[in-house]
Homo-oligomer: A and B are copies of this chain.
Amino acid sequence: MFEFQITAKNNRARTGVFATPHGDLITPVFAPVGTQATVKTLTPEHLKDINATLVLSNTYHLYLRPGDELVRDMGGLHKFMQWPRPILTDSGGFQVFSLAQTRKIDGDGVTFKSHIDGSTHRFTPEKSIAIQENLGADIIMAFDECSDPNDHAYTKLAMERTHRWAERCVKAKTRDDQALFGIIQGGVNPDLRAESAKFISSLDTPGIAIGGLSVGETKDEMHAMLDVIQPLLPENKPRYLMGVGTPEDLINGVLRGVDIFDCVLPTRLARHHSAFAPEGRLNLMNASFARDENPIDATCDCYTCQTFTRGYIRHLIVAKELLAGALISIHNLRALIRLMESIRGYITDGSLESRVPELLGQWRGNAERAGKKLMADG
């Protein structure tokens, strides 16, 4: 279990198979985000139809509501949300720092108030693992502290704390059917990123996550950090770039050896009427689409594009019909999953690097990030 077989390489980019208790993940892979044990507005059937494999769910949210012990007693997260394929849970750390009302951090953990009802809770590395063991995802995360990338003095402190917490998570873990990933931090400081990459690699977890990126730094800074980290990581373990990202970020991440991505961007954009399209990102509420008989993307094989016109979707948006968000979510997710399918094919046939200008060109105008707030609340 949790063996990672690389089947093809194209310079630093790799395609491979990560074996989990709920089936093989073919990488590189993009994971839709199901914050509260549901990818907003979509059924598991919709997700299967777009060939989603890995789905991410958020520990902080599920701990607060409906509660990890309830999920455990209902048979675990796969059964609860009826997703038979692999699931990844984060550690809860990112949401504690970005969503909770107040928080007080110490060496042992974090005390915070729920954003839902203001009630007081405490997460420690051991608690995060216990919650994630109750939830029962295939891939779980070490409890980490994601610091402001612009606060360089604090970044070192947060990184060191993240390392101590990662060791405690490794010790606290009891289930053999879950792969724990340590998380590299270090902000935008190359020395710290290198130190963190080496330390987390030394823990010999079945996979390695890269946290603290796409949180306000520039694209160049993100790429520089990935360039620092990549040569220091073990080859035979999957690398997960947390909370990333845009189509452009996915392409650039794969080129720098990343295997797993997740982001709320496609579903969040969809609920705000924004669709990935060949001519760039479209706000489908725009009156220019009222009589548009084309699908969002004539080259797309998703249910939405195979069935509905832009004009109809625009009507649903204007009429405040919730189906609009679901239909655009299907398309936006399928667009990123198709991108990853293409990339895997290009790695396998050795053409990825030569296709980068074409790929980036196809996605021009779809590149902006969702923003930090969007990452945090699914």
Which A residues fall within an 8 A CB radius of B? 36-38, 40-45, 61, 65-66, 70, 73-75, 80-82, 290-291, 293, 303, 307-309, 311-312, 314-316, 318-319, 321-323, 325-327
Contacts and interface: CB of A to CB of B under 8 A. Distances in A.
B291 A74 contact: yes
Given A70-B290, A73-B291, A319 B43 contact: no
Contacts of A45: 303
A74 B312 contact: yes
Contacts of A73: 291
B36 A66 contact: no
Given A70-B291, A74-B312, A80-B312, A321 B36 contact: yes
Given A41-B41, A65-B319, A80-B309, 17 more contacts: A37-B315, A38-B316, A38-B319, A38-B321, A41-B326, A42-B323, A43-B327, A61-B319, A66-B290, A66-B311, A73-B291, A74-B293, A74-B309, A74-B311, A80-B312, A82-B307, A82-B308
A45 B66 CA distance: 30
A315 B40 contact: no
B321 A40 contact: yes
B41 A323 contact: yes
B323 A38 contact: yes
Contacts of A312: 37, 74, 80-82
A113 B279 CA distance: 39
A302 to B, nearest CB: 12
**Nearest 8 A/B pairs, CB to CB:** A66-B315, A36-B319, A38-B321, A38-B323, A41-B322, A82-B307, A65-B319, A322-B322
Contacts of A40: 321-323
Nearest to A325: B322
A14 to B, nearest CB: 35
A321 B73 CA distance: 21
A42 B303 CA distance: 13
A75 B309 CA distance: 11
Contacts of A327: 43
B65 A318 contact: yes
A303 B74 contact: no
Contacts of A303: 43, 45
A19 to B, nearest CB: 26
Contacts of A42: 323
A101 B108 CA distance: 61
Contact of A43 (B37, B65, B70, B323): B323
A322 B303 CA distance: 20
Contacts of A325: 322
Contacts of A326: 41, 43, 326
A37 B315 CA distance: 9
Residue of A74, A81, A323, A326 contacting most chain B CB atoms (<10 Å): A323
A61 B293 CA distance: 21
Contacts of A318: 65-66
A226 B47 CA distance: 47
A335 B327 CA distance: 25
Nearest to A316: B38
Contacts of A74: 291, 293, 309, 311-312
A80 B37 CA distance: 33
A45 B327 CA distance: 12
13 contacts: A36-B316, A36-B319, A37-B312, A40-B321, A42-B323, A43-B326, A65-B315, A66-B318, A70-B311, A74-B293, A74-B309, A80-B311, A322-B322
